[in-house]
Amino acid sequence: MKEYFEGLGSYLSLKDRVHQNIKFQIMRGNLRPGTHLLEEELSKAMSISRAPIREALNKLEKEGFVTITPRKGAAVSRITSPMIEDIFEIRETLESLAVKKAIGRISIEELEKVGEDFKKFINKPADRESRINYLALDKEFHDLLSQNCGNEKLIEILANLQEQIHWLRNISLKRTTFSGSVKEHLAIIEALKRNDEELIVKNLLLHLERAKRSSLEEINSWSDTSNN
């Protein structure tokens, strides 16, 4: 944790460096849902005072990554089926709007480049490293859609939502498969190149439905394991 913290650079304030550090650990799955975040332990791990840690935890609570309970302190937020349903319901609505507004704003060259990047995963073994790299590419692609929508507020909202989605996908990493997902992304890209709004949204929603199902299956498997 300290190594990544020091690598963030001095251009960020101390509070923001702490915030980014803890969020990174959560998103990568290094801090699992339900893990208690003790200020004293975090303070020692990062060799800083507890004040910026407290501020960072409060910010992470507003973003949905941390839950703070009176007299119990902070913990990484637990992921539930209703939470996943809610996140994807919002994502489907907002990302559909963003991609409609992005039509014609993304260059063919950009779309072809990211398409070629996706094709590289078709025959790759689905080991942990490849899955992590694939999820990074998936996030890059969806960021490309939202960042070209021309609506700054929508970009801001989707950026935070994408971080939560990336968190969910990292936690369900072992369920990430390439062949079907690559085809879904390539179908979205082809529809974008044709400026076919109806087909773009249709393919996007099919892709998001599969991603939601994968996350729900992972959460349900946790419940099954705890009940055995």
Residue-level pLDDT at 176: 73
Looking at the DSSP bridge assignments, the partners of residue 37 are 74
Using one digit for the tens of pLDDT, what is the confidence trace for 123-161?
888 888 898 899 899 999 999 999 999 999 999 999 989
Contact 182, 122 (CB under 8 A): yes
Q: Which residue has the tokens 């003790």?
A: 38
pLDDT at 67: 97
Contact between 21 and 6 under an 8 Å Cβ cutoff? The reply is: no
Looking at residue 132, what is its pLDDT? 87
* The pLDDT value given to residue 169: 82
What pLDDT sits at residue 54? 94
Query: What contacts 193, CB < 8 A, 6 or more positions away?
Result: 108, 111, 112
Can you tell me the distance from the alpha carbon of 84 to that of 223, in angstroms, rounded to the nearest whole number? 15
Residue 10, pLDDT score? 60
User: pLDDT under 50 in the chain at which residues?
Assistant: none
Query: Which pLDDT does position 9 carry in this prediction?
Result: 54
52 neighbors 18 (Cβ within 8 angstroms): yes
pLDDT digits (tens, 9 = 90+) for 114-124: 999 999 999 88
